[in-house]
A = this chain, B = another copy of it.
Amino acid sequence: MYVTKRKLVTLWGLILMKSGWLRILLKKKLSTTSQSLMMIPLYMEYLFNYLCLVIWMRKKILDAVCIEKDVDGFHPENMGRLAMRGREPSFVPCTPKGCIELLHRYNIPIKGKRAVVIGRSNIVGTPAAFLLQREDATVTVVHSRTENAEEITREADIIISAVGQPNMVRGSWVKPGAVIIDVGINPVEDPESARGYRLVGDICYEEARKVASAITPVPGGVGPMTIAMLLSNTLLSAKRIHNFS
């Protein structure tokens, strides 16, 4: 079961990447009918994969994973335990765990600080908010329906952004000295790049780094942490199964 799920997650990742490529491809003007026709199979494949996964994976598969092996920590019971006081999750979701690990390793105080999490996804935003609150931060979740997101974000000592909008958070959104963790990975068109695109985060790095006291780069910031935390959770799971302390 678990192997199947991991494969699906990988597949999903690939599709997300592909949807990024697709967006870039679509921005190029399609001058001939043949070029337009060429896009149809890509479209169909994307739509098919997307529908399959959204309908099939998000609930059935996640619910079917045994909570003791849910090293991604996406099971609702695990999320509930993460959110509740006096409870411990079986596993902490990998990306938010990586974010908190970064804060710990760089001795950034969390207790009592104001934190803003931008984005409320089940995979990053929501569990990141829970983890920050477990560390006694005062957390505000900013999302697509938030009015004056800029003003709210400017109050934060710690910003975790996982929204998928390239360069959304400008330098003016950041309080001087704030710590920024950028979870976004967004492909943007770049004719200078060999691949025709480059990856940027949700944070406008060049602007924000002048104001912030610490900031993660994209790529190479949170990404490797997610992989490390997935390995950490997998090791933890194996240790528990074999009663190895």
Contact = CB atoms under 8 A, between A and B. Distances in A.
A112 B145 contact: yes
B85 A79 contact: no
A138 B146 contact: yes
Contacts of A85: 120-122, 126
Given A76-B81, A77-B80, A79-B83, A133 B141 contact: yes
Interface in A55-113: 58-59, 75-87, 111-113
B145 A136 contact: yes
Interface string A44-64: 000000000000001100000
Contact of A76 (B87, B126, B138, B140): B87
Contact of A84 (B84, B126, B138, B147): B126
A142 interface: yes
Contacts of A139: 140-141
A114 B82 CA distance: 24
A133 B76 CA distance: 17
A214 interface: no
Contacts of A142: 138
A136 B147 CA distance: 10
A29 B233 CA distance: 56
Interface string A135-177: 0101111110111000010000000000000000000000000
Given A76-B84, A83-B126, 14 more contacts: A58-B86, A59-B86, A76-B87, A79-B80, A80-B83, A84-B126, A86-B122, A114-B147, A133-B141, A133-B143, A136-B143, A136-B145, A138-B141, A138-B146
Interface of A: 58-59, 75-87, 111-114, 120-122, 126, 130, 133, 136, 138-143, 145-147, 152
18 contacts: A59-B86, A76-B81, A78-B80, A80-B81, A83-B83, A85-B121, A85-B126, A111-B145, A112-B145, A112-B146, A113-B147, A114-B152, A136-B143, A138-B141, A138-B142, A138-B143, A138-B146, A139-B140
